[in-house]
Structure 1
Amino acid sequence: MPVSRAKALTLAAGIMFLAPATLAETPAPPGKPLILTSPNLEPAAPKAEESGAGAAPTAAEFPGGPAKPGSRFEMEELKAPDPDAVGVLDEGQGGLGLGMWHGTAAATVRTMLPALPAAAGSRAVHSLTRRLLLSAAAAPEGNRGQVPSLLELRAERLFAMGETDGLAALLKAAPAAVTSPGLSRLKVDTFLLTGDSKAACAEAAAMSQMMPLDPRLSVFCQISTGKALEAGMALDLMRERKDADHAFIAAAEAMAGTPPGKVDKLPHPTPLHLAAFKAAKLPLPADTVANAPPSMLRAIADNPAVAVDLRIAAAERAEALGILETESLRKLMNGVALTPPEQQAAQTQGDKAPKGRALWLRAVGAEAAPHVRAELMARILLAAAERHAFSATARLYAPLIAELKPAPDLVTASPMLARALYAAGRPETAASWLALARTDPDAAKLAAGLWPLTRISRVGLDPSPAGAFAGWMETVGPNERRAVVTLAMLQAVGESIPAPAWLAHATGTAAGAGPKPAMKALLRAAAEGARRAETALLAAAALGETGLDGVDPDTLNRVVVFLRQAGFEREARELAIEAVLANGG
């Protein structure tokens, strides 16, 4: 008897809701089909190198061979997708894989996520942390029903790190029904920092249904929507408070059209302050950048109403942390307008002030003579090293160095240019400048100090490493920290360190306590258990917000070793180079 079209559609709809009992607690990952198998047959455990993305097991992977005809299926209601699994990066985009939390307990993730540094001392670690937080992945076992949600914990860290673009994408990908006071606050602050006051106020209206609003936010939204009368009455009440926020009041008055009072200080800026000052077209006080957390640096750098030197300073901090692309900083410094008096003052200030650094960048770019350009950059890089900004300056000047070709008349500058290229992640180009440096006795002595960078980058390896090691040791001098950190990084990437080299630094008291022993034990266990995401999480937390010139060498060594063990070879070597350079190498 022929089957009617209606009955066929009914049967098809019924098939869509068939799911194995063994998978009842594991919904299909986003964008992946739900795989139907017999409930009587359990697939083999996924291999360590597999992402756990829901790949269908082959017939050979089933105990006893392929399923037999007539296998029984059970009907199970599909569960809603887990919002904690939402992400915007898959493995092809740098994500760590749908199964990245396999084997990691939810308690570990939930305890360590808030401990991730907002301002890591390493761009490599910042980038890896960003990928970790934005990856689409099944939530760790035991996470379901926990408060706050894993999504909120990830969003909070992204915001703290200044990754507002990634955070905005993550929040957009999350189901609209997922909400909480914490997520709403993050959305409001993100919209304020990105200049979308309309979206910020719409979210504030929704947030007011869950909790009382900050009166300042209410005033901001009232003025933004033309309700100046209501805002004016609220401002009158604010002025009478002993703890009145005079900076915000001045900005709100300017937004409403009233001449504002002068604001000299803003010691604790918030996203609302930045949004109000931008809407009022008021300049920010000079102390704003120094006190601004990473989350606000890009908003300051992108605000044309902010003084040029503050914009550059904010952009430099953001670039150093990995929040801002180096090219964006370069464009800002090349594009800012400087009056003749400002140019004269900048020439006097030189490397010590943001405008002076912008002027130097332009001067080098305009210099046509290769030997003059090379010498200028060598001097600028040396000055940057003295103010602990060598690597950031190297990244800024790398394209200008790349325009030069090694030549005999540039040999004096060649060691410094080579060091800058290692810092900028261009080891192949650096090797050609090192070859030039070896043609001159004086330059060759300086180039010998760069041997560890060559070994760590694995480019242009010296055919006689024993002799090169001795040559490097002669350049270290009395700087014990430089020696120990460099030895620790060389050992961490697999170099054999002669015992006498360690022996010279074996006695005395070590500087820097480092993380607690429990953190080191957890990190080791995660790496040895091949839990990649957990290893990345613990490595970033272990380094903390101490700069690489302050982290104890043992912790640096362990982090590099365990990152390599977990499969993060490139990131580990980048971190090792950063550590060597940060400590004078």
Structure 2
Amino acid sequence: MSTPVVQALPDQAADADEQPASSGGQDVLKRVPSLQELAKMTPEDFEALFGSQVVFDMPPQARRSMERAGLLDQSEGGLAADSLAGQSAQLVDLVLSGNKGTLVSRWGHILMRRALLSRLQAPQGMTPQDFLALRVGLLLRMGETDAARALLQDVDIADYTPAVGNVALGVYEKTADFTGLCPIMATQGSLRDDSHWETAKTICEAFRGNSRAALSQLDRDVSRGSMPKIDLLLAQKYAGAAGKTRRAVTIEWDNVDALTPWRYGLAIGVGVEPPKRLVDTAGSEYSYVTALAPMVGLERRATAADRAGASGVLSNAAMVDLYAQIYSDAEVSGDWQERAESLRNAYTLSDSEARLSAMQSLWDGAGDASARYGRQVLTAAAAARMPASEDLADEAAPLIASMLSAGYDANAVRWSSVVPAGSQSWGMLVLAAPGRTNPVSTSSLDTFIDADESADKRKSSFLVAGLAGLERLGPSEFERYSNDMSLGLGADTRWTRAIDSAAERGDSASVVLLAGFGMQGTNWHRMTPRYLYHIVSALRRVGFEAEARMIAAEAVARA
């Protein structure tokens, strides 16, 4: 039996003033489309046909203000809302957009995240949307994908601008949550017009119930070569998960020479593991994405957690929770199960030396210095439970570094009475000890410097810079050590003048942003003692004394 076709009605020739009034604000249909035409229509076509395009009808009292977008109120540990209100918009733009997101300090990273998530007013001369986009963009570059998404979603979609749209795609790429873009596409789909945005829009059509048309569109895109083939094949596989339209999509990586956030996000979103050759050369940002991705296997997440923990993306508690999942998962065996058992032994064994041995096995099994520090973050709470014993004084340095990596300064200070003066353990403790007001012993400091075997005596240089920034060196000692070690702590640059000026004004937010700008680098060899001195000093003067102590101690531990 042939399918009946509904014939189009003839156009009405009546004048506009003779047309009946539309009901409920909708236009009256002048023409009924055929079934063939209906089958080819997209959801947007239907909305246009029936006059039902999505509009922003949220009542004013229910809309969120853009004036103080953020997650942390001052009462919750965030910065004061007006911290940057009087700051130069140009300077704020510079320190946010110019920060590549890779910081040498774990504690600097944590402090930056706290500042970026605070409920802040935009500086005068910058729109709230541009300010939000700069903050979200920097969080993404720092590897803080979940925090970036939370900050983005604190703003109503009705307030999005192209600047916000530019970072929105990055947020949902790096969280492997492309359906999170769909509410944006439904109401603000014209924010961008590049190929990745349009393909994401097509994916959303599939998840809105029009998977057949979406997959047909992606087929046409493949034929036209509008994007690299791997990008479109992954989009097809993701879109194919919607609706009843099933299709086998083969993902081949042979001709792919690099990962991108788009490729990696789609791949892990559909359960595809990219080749090891691509992952190994992809950079640390993909480790952070992997460590935070709940759909990735436990072993891959644990491998990535070493770098994520060292950078500050993962906390000690988050890493311990990950290892607890590994320990309780019967399907995980081999090295990772052994590491999970070692962590459990570090907490539960009755003998202190056996617990230390379990921690050492975790530290020594790390691949490089960064991963080793990540393992010290993992064991921080276990290290804090160790009794301060003279029998373990020679092994105290990594224990103290582990404790301080997660802020257990009170536990670490208990070792002050058992570690030798002038040792590395002593150096970290004189920096980390809270409430210290008296200057350090110069004889102990000289002992530390003489015994320092680090390259160019970097540990000693950072120790002197940290002590000077915390005002734990007298003025005459400051000058003497700075000159004798050629540190140039008193010399200035445009950056040092800017952060010192902000500290004098009590501008805590500017100090934090400038400190983050000055701490950029892949490791502590990229940091200078002069910059460390100004960062620690400025943070201390604006009320971040605890963070200043932890950054200074971290510098000595990781140099």
Q: Distance in 2 between matches of 1:309 and 1:209?
A: 40
Q: Does 1:449 align with 2:424?
A: yes
How do 1:125-274 and structure 2 match up within 5 A?
Answer: 125-143=108-126, 149-194=130-175, 196-212=177-193, 214=196, 215-224=198-207, 225=209, 227-235=211-219, 237-238=221-222, 241=225, 244-246=228-230, 248-250=232-234, 252-253=236-237, 255=240, 256-263=246-253, 268-274=258-264
State the partner residue of 1:316: 306
State the partner residue of 1:67: none
Q: Distance in 2 between matches of 1:306 and 1:269?
A: 17
State the partner residue of 2:448: 472
Q: Does 1:540 align with 2:530?
A: no
Q: Do 2:230 and 2:252's aligned partners in 1 also have CA atoms closer than 8 Å?
A: no
Paired residue secondary structure (1:260): coil
Deviation at 1:396? 0.9
The verdict on how the C-alpha distance between 1:357 and 1:182 changes in structure 2, with shifts beyond 3 A counting, is farther
Instruction: Percent identity, please.
Output: 22
**Higher relative CO (CA 8 A, sep ≥ 6), structure 1 or 2?**
2
State the partner residue of 1:402: 384
Q: Does 1:481 align with 2:458?
A: yes
Q: Distance in 1 between matches of 2:404 and 2:430?
A: 11
Q: Distance in 2 between matches of 1:177 and 1:127?
A: 31
Q: Do 1:282 and 1:306's aligned partners in 2 also have CA atoms closer than 8 Å?
A: no
Paired residue secondary structure (1:329): helix
Q: Does 1:577 align with 2:537?
A: no
Deviation at 1:97? 0.9
State the partner residue of 1:562: 538
State the partner residue of 2:469: 492
Q: Over residues 367-421 of structure 1, what are the superposed CA-to-partner deviations in whole Å (9 max), with x where a residue is unaligned?
A: 5543222233245446659634443222211222234334566555344423432
Deviation at 1:192? 4.9
State the partner residue of 1:6: none
Q: Do 1:220 and 1:276's aligned partners in 2 also have CA atoms closer than 8 Å?
A: no
- Counterpart of 1:427, as a letter, is D
Q: Do 1:120 and 1:544's aligned partners in 2 also have CA atoms closer than 8 Å?
A: yes
How do 1:277-426 and structure 2 match up within 5 A?
Answer: 277-287=267-277, 289-290=279-280, 297=287, 299-303=289-293, 306-336=296-326, 343-344=333-334, 346=335, 358=340, 360-362=342-344, 364-365=346-347, 367-378=349-360, 380-381=362-363, 387-407=369-389, 410=392, 413-426=395-408
Q: Do 1:450 and 1:472's aligned partners in 2 also have CA atoms closer than 8 Å?
A: no
Q: Do 2:287 and 2:307's aligned partners in 1 also have CA atoms closer than 8 Å?
A: yes
Paired residue secondary structure (1:238): helix
Paired residue secondary structure (1:450): helix
Tell which deviates more after alignment, 256-265 or 550-559.
Answer: 256-265
Q: Distance in 2 between matches of 1:383 and 1:97?
A: 43
Q: Do 1:286 and 1:310's aligned partners in 2 also have CA atoms closer than 8 Å?
A: no
Q: TM-score, normalised by structure 1?
A: 0.71
Tell which deviates more after alignment, 391-400 or 329-338.
Answer: 329-338
Q: Do 1:451 and 1:469's aligned partners in 2 also have CA atoms closer than 8 Å?
A: no
Q: Distance in 1 between matches of 2:368 and 2:190?
A: 53
Deviation at 1:92? 0.8
Q: Distance in 1 between matches of 2:391 and 2:430?
A: 27
Q: Distance in 1 between matches of 2:98 and 2:351?
A: 50
State the partner residue of 2:56: none
- Counterpart of 1:475, as a letter, is A
- Counterpart of 1:86, as a letter, is A
Deviation at 1:200? 1.7
Q: Distance in 2 between matches of 1:494 and 1:92?
A: 29
Could you tell me which of 409, 429, 436 is aligned with 2:411?
Answer: 429
Q: Do 2:469 and 2:536's aligned partners in 1 also have CA atoms closer than 8 Å?
A: yes
How do 1:50-61 and structure 2 match up within 5 A?
Answer: none
Could you tell me which of 55, 61, 83 is aligned with 1:100?
Answer: 83
The verdict on how the C-alpha distance between 1:561 and 1:460 changes in structure 2, with shifts beyond 3 A counting, is closer
Q: Do 1:370 and 1:404's aligned partners in 2 also have CA atoms closer than 8 Å?
A: yes
Paired residue secondary structure (1:104): coil
- Counterpart of 2:408, as a letter, is R
Q: Distance in 2 between matches of 1:464 and 1:301?
A: 41
The verdict on how the C-alpha distance between 1:322 and 1:248 changes in structure 2, with shifts beyond 3 A counting, is farther
State the partner residue of 2:53: none
Q: Do 1:251 and 1:260's aligned partners in 2 also have CA atoms closer than 8 Å?
A: no
The verdict on how the C-alpha distance between 1:546 and 1:306 changes in structure 2, with shifts beyond 3 A counting, is closer
Deviation at 1:504? 4.4
Q: Do 1:266 and 1:285's aligned partners in 2 also have CA atoms closer than 8 Å?
A: no
The verdict on how the C-alpha distance between 1:182 and 1:564 changes in structure 2, with shifts beyond 3 A counting, is same
Paired residue secondary structure (2:527): coil
State the partner residue of 1:65: none
RMSD: 3.9
Paired residue secondary structure (1:118): coil
- Counterpart of 1:316, as a letter, is D
Q: Do 2:102 and 2:142's aligned partners in 1 also have CA atoms closer than 8 Å?
A: yes
Deviation at 1:232? 4.0
Tell which deviates more after alignment, 327-336 or 226-235.
Answer: 226-235
The verdict on how the C-alpha distance between 1:503 and 1:166 changes in structure 2, with shifts beyond 3 A counting, is closer
Q: Over residues 328-381 of structure 1, what are the superposed CA-to-partner deviations in whole Å (9 max), with x where a residue is unaligned?
A: 22222332379999855x3xxxxxxx7775564355456554322223324544
Q: Does 1:522 align with 2:498?
A: yes
Q: Do 1:248 and 1:276's aligned partners in 2 also have CA atoms closer than 8 Å?
A: no
Q: Distance in 2 between matches of 1:302 and 1:464?
A: 42
Q: Do 2:103 and 2:519's aligned partners in 1 also have CA atoms closer than 8 Å?
A: yes
Deviation at 1:563? 2.0
The verdict on how the C-alpha distance between 1:83 and 1:290 changes in structure 2, with shifts beyond 3 A counting, is farther
- Counterpart of 1:228, as a letter, is R
State the partner residue of 1:505: 485
Gaps of 5+ in 1: 1-79, 347-353, 439-443
- Counterpart of 2:123, as a letter, is P
Q: Distance in 2 between matches of 1:183 and 1:242?
A: 24
Q: Do 2:69 and 2:132's aligned partners in 1 also have CA atoms closer than 8 Å?
A: yes
Deviation at 1:265? 8.0
Paired residue secondary structure (1:83): coil
Q: Distance in 2 between matches of 1:263 and 1:315?
A: 25
- Counterpart of 1:560, as a letter, is V
- Counterpart of 1:241, as a letter, is G
The verdict on how the C-alpha distance between 1:86 and 1:233 changes in structure 2, with shifts beyond 3 A counting, is closer
Q: Do 1:185 and 1:207's aligned partners in 2 also have CA atoms closer than 8 Å?
A: no
Q: Distance in 2 between matches of 1:309 and 1:266?
A: 25
Deviation at 1:126? 1.9
- Counterpart of 2:486, as a letter, is A
The verdict on how the C-alpha distance between 1:176 and 1:236 changes in structure 2, with shifts beyond 3 A counting, is closer
Q: Do 1:181 and 1:207's aligned partners in 2 also have CA atoms closer than 8 Å?
A: no
State the partner residue of 2:99: 116
Deviation at 1:553? 1.5
Q: Distance in 2 between matches of 1:460 and 1:136?
A: 30
